[in-house]
Structure 1
C-alpha cells in the first residue's frame, strides 16, 4: 500500500502547486545541459552547489540539499543528474516539494522538458520517478515520447517492455524486449518476466552469412553498462 499512498500525497501536493511552476528562462550561466556551448558555466555551478555529497544526498553545500539541487536546476533545468537527485530526495522525504526546493519535483521535470523537448534522458528520468510514485500511465507517456525521439536507445525499449509486462500487454512487451536485446541490452529481467508469463519467444537465428557481421557489430556497440548512468539506469529490473 505504500506506493498508492505516496502517489496520493504527491498528487494532492502537486495539485496545489501546479499553478506555481513558471517556465525556465535562460540566463548566464545556464541553459541546455546537453549543449556544449551552454555548459561553459556548468563547472562553477556544480562546484558550489552540486558536489558528489549533494548528488548522493549526503549533505548540502550551502544549505539544505533541496536548495542546492534547486539552484543547479534553476541554471540548467535539464541537468540529468540533478533531476535524478531531486527525484530521489522527494521520494526519500515522501514529499512532492523537498525542503529548500523552490518548486515541486514534477515541476522541475516539466520545466526541463518544456525547455529541452529533445532531451531523451530527462524524459527517461521523469518516467522512472512517475513509476516510483505509482503514476504508471504518466510514466508510460514519457517513455513512449522518449522512444519516438530515440528508437535505437536500448534502455528505453527495455523499460517500455517492463511497463507493458506490468500492464499484461505481452505482445507489446515482447516487441520492445526483442528490440532491446537485439541492441545488446545486458539485463535479463524483462526476458525472465516474459518467460514466467509464458510469452517469451526466442528471436530467429541470424542468416549464416550475416551472423558473423552481426556478432562483430553487437560486440562493438554493446555498452559495458546500461546506457543511462545513475539517472540513466533502467527501472531496476
Structure 2
C-alpha cells in the first residue's frame, strides 16, 4: 500500500508556523480559472481540454503539451473538480504505484483535496476522493467521504455504487444493500456489488422499479 503525504489539514496542524502562508496543497487562485466543472463555460472548457485533456491524456497514455502529469495538473488547476481528470490522475498513479506523477505540482491526493475545497457541495468530487482512498486500501478514510458524497448526490448511481462497495467490505450490509438498491434503481450497469451481496447471503438481488411521479 502506498504511503501518501498528509492531507492539507493534517499537515497544517503538524506544522509549527503561523507563518505558513499557503495550504500544503496550494492556493486555488490560478491564471486561468478556477472554474466549476459542473457548469462550465463551453469555450473555457474547450480551450483547456483541446490542449491538456486530449484522448491520450484521458486514457493515461501520454501527455500532449508535456508530461502526462503536467497536462493533468493544468486541467485540474483550471477545473479543480474535473472528475474525469481526477479519475485519470488516480488511475495512472495507482498503475505506476506513485503518490505523485512526474510533472504534477502536487501529490495525487492534493488534487482531490483541492477539488472538495473548491466546491464542497460537489458530491461527485467527494466520491472521486473517497474512491481513490478506497483503491489505496484506506477504507476507513474513504468511508466518510463516500458517505458525504451520497448525502450530496443521492440520485447519482455511481456514487451509490461506490458507497455500497465500501460498506460491503466493512460488512455493514444493511447500508451496503441500501446503496446497492439505489444504484441499480438508477441504472448502474456493473453487477459486482450485486454479486458480492447475493453471495454473502445479504440480498436476493432484486430491485424495485423506480417510482415515477404521477403526471397531471
TM-superposed deviation, 1:166 = 0.7
Contact 1:64/1:100 (CA < 8 Å) preserved in 2? yes
Q: Say if 2:60 is the partner of 1:57.
A: yes
Contact 2:124/2:159 (CA < 8 Å) preserved in 1? no
Q: Say if 2:214 is the partner of 1:193.
A: no
Residue aligning to 1:31: 35
How many equivalent residue pairs?
A: 200
Q: Over residues 151-180 of structure 1, what are the superposed CA-to-partner deviations in whole Å (9 max), with x where a residue is unaligned?
A: 222222222222111111222222222333
Distance across 2 between alignment mates of 1:188 and 1:146: 21
Residue aligning to 1:22: 26
Residue aligning to 2:110: 107
* Mean Cα deviation higher: 154-163 or 107-116: 154-163
Q: Over residues 42-66 of structure 1, what are the superposed CA-to-partner deviations in whole Å (9 max), with x where a residue is unaligned?
A: 2112222221111112211122111
Contact 2:33/2:77 (CA < 8 Å) preserved in 1? no
Q: Over residues 171-221 of structure 1, what are the superposed CA-to-partner deviations in whole Å (9 max), with x where a residue is unaligned?
A: 2222222333333434332222222111114669x7xxxxxxx57959xxx
Q: Does the C-alpha gap of structure 1 residues 99 and 152 become closer, same or farther in structure 2, counting only changes over 3 Å?
A: same
Q: Residue 151 of structure 1 aligns to a residue in which SS?
A: coil
Superposition map of 1:150-189 within 5 A: 150-189=153-192
Query: Which structure is higher in RCO with an 8 Å CA cutoff and minimum separation 6?
Result: 1
Distance across 2 between alignment mates of 1:53 and 1:186: 25
Residue aligning to 1:66: 69
Please identify which structure carries the higher helix content. 1
